[in-house]
Amino acid sequence: TYRYIKGANQVITMAGASDTPKVGTDMSEIDVRTDANVLLRDDEIIGVDTHEALLVAFPEEIASAEVIDATGKVVTPGFVEPHTHLVYAGSREQEFAMRLQGESYMAIMNAGGGIHATTRATRAASFEELYTQSKRRLNQFMQHGVTTVEAKSGYGLDWEVEKRQLEVAHALDRDHPLDIVHTFMGAHAVPAEYKGNEDAFVDIVCEKMIPEVARLGLATFNDVFCERGVFTPAQAERVLKVGQAHGLKAKIHADEIEPYEGAELAAQVGAISADHLLRISDAGIQAMAEKKVVGVLLPGTAFFLMTDAADGRKMVDAGVPVALSTDCNPGSSPTVSTGLILSLACLNMGMTPAEALTAVTINAAHAIDQATRVGSIEVGKQADIVVHDIPDYRQLVYHYGMNHTDTVMKAGKVVYQ
Ligand code: NIG
Ligand code: FE
């Protein structure tokens, strides 16, 4: 089957960065085409060019193609969400109300709420309940122009429920049009039953859970929450290195609440990404830029925790490959709106609309090792493409808090319109 996306005001291709992420001034080079159409064969992009040029190369294909009319609209690669806690049960609006009264996120967690509250709800949920609640969020992501989602475990904190969360994500990947990539995050918090006995929990993560995750092929990535009062840099290093020894690529929640040398650790172990980075040190920025560790910034989390966002401008200028994500989770960022994240990145982190769009497409794909397949509109790539109902890509950012998604194509099929 051939499909032909025709007449767009702008096609933003993000071409030329499938091998290495965009850094520095390259993050602004998004390739805005004002005269390009896009031809798809099944799940693959086979032409990106003017109508005249494509007609010469593909006359029969275009004659038989189903037309997707994008007249007056903007076409971009499908958004990639490289940091979400998609699979969980319950919600925490009660704690949100407490935070609005001045209670802090970490104080709520240390008093047994926060991640622990969601862990209780997730442990109590059946596979079917977790599946249904998470599928609803996955649909909402799709409706917001997202075509690939990373999903972390980390609300089981025991093997049975960590495994259940990962299996729910695999079932959704099979059943739902969107693609999911899988991250094990057994070291998301020290569960209540190991309070005061943290190293014994790290032993279980390293000696039992990680080997099982690898043996069963349940995850590609291994993540840890490195933060004072959660896991120390030494514990985080152990978790990440054991993961790497089992073939799991390292990710890290780093320097979110306090500077804690998480970015330095990410560079030292060769992590694929370090995420959050609100309180990253200058040495951490240099180390990440040198080792090309993708910095996944989550301005929705800073917004929702009512704190200063990461310094995205400084990291882009220093040569850190920057990506963006929602961090979709029930505590610090309960949203699926990549569009809102684009606006927050520009308004609160000093990024430009072009840089922000790079950060939710090709650089986000690099953060989850998917950039040879998705993240740009180029011949040979999978046809994950979104039509936005706006005439200029900058309106994605400018008309903030709105959903501009018009048509979502996943692997060449229209999955939402
Ligand atoms: O990425 N920082 C730690 N983990 C999540 C929040 C989890 C939660 O509050 O439930 C985050 O912000
Ligand atoms: Fe997170």
User: 3 among the known binding-site residues?
Assistant: no
Q: In the 8-state DSSP scheme, what is residue 193?
A: G
Task: Give the ligand with the smallest distance to the CA of 262.
Answer: 1
Residue ranges in 256-408 assigned as alpha helix (H): 262-269, 282-291, 299-304, 312-317, 338-349, 353-360, 362-367, 395-398
* Residue 150 in contact with ligand 1 by CB distance below 6 A: no
* Residue 332 in contact with ligand 1 by CB distance below 6 A: yes
User: 331 among the known binding-site residues?
Assistant: yes
* Residue 262 in contact with ligand 1 by CB distance below 6 A: no
**For position 356, what pLDDT does the model report?**
99
Which residues are paired to 79 by β-bridges? 146
Percent of the chain with pLDDT strictly greater than 70: 100
User: 83 among the known binding-site residues?
Assistant: yes
Give, as residue ranges, everything with CB less than 5 Å from ion ligand 2: 327
* Residue 122 in contact with ligand 1 by CB distance below 6 A: no
Task: Give the ligand with the smallest distance to the CA of 305.
Answer: 1
Mutate to test the pocket of ligand 1, among 88, 96, 183, 253 (most ligand atoms within 8 A of CB): 253
* Residue 152 in contact with ligand 1 by CB distance below 6 A: no
Joined together, the tokens standing for residue 199 give: 């190293």
User: 4 among the known binding-site residues?
Assistant: no
Q: Which residues make Cβ contacts (< 8 Å) with residue 350, sequence separation at least 6?
A: 311, 312, 313, 314
What is the Å distance from ligand 2's center to 203 Cα? 22
Write out pLDDT tens, residues 179-227: 999 999 999 999 999 999 999 999 999 999 999 999 999 999 999 999 9
User: 332 among the known binding-site residues?
Assistant: yes
What is the chain's length? Answer: 417
Joined together, the tokens standing for residue 115 give: 């991640």
* Distance of alpha carbon 49 from alpha carbon 392, whole angstroms: 19
Residue from 88, 100, 147, 122 nearest 360 by CA? 147
CB 202 within 8 A of CB 239: yes
Predicted TM-score of the model (pTM) = 0.98
* Residue 114 in contact with ligand 1 by CB distance below 6 A: yes
pLDDT in tens, the chain (417 residues): 999 999 999 999 999 999 999 999 999 999 999 999 999 999 999 999 999 999 999 999 999 999 999 999 999 999 999 999 999 999 999 999 999 999 999 999 999 999 999 999 999 999 999 999 999 999 999 999 999 999 999 999 999 999 999 999 999 999 999 999 999 999 999 999 999 999 999 999 999 999 999 999 999 999 999 999 999 999 999 999 999 999 999 999 999 999 999 999 999 999 999 999 999 999 999 999 999 999 999 999 999 999 999 999 999 999 999 999 999 999 999 999 999 999 999 999 999 999 999 999 999 999 999 999 999 999 999 999 999 999 999 999 999 999 999 999 999 999 999
* Residue 148 in contact with ligand 1 by CB distance below 6 A: no
Helix, strand counts (H, E) of the chain: 18, 18
CB 300 within 8 A of CB 308: no
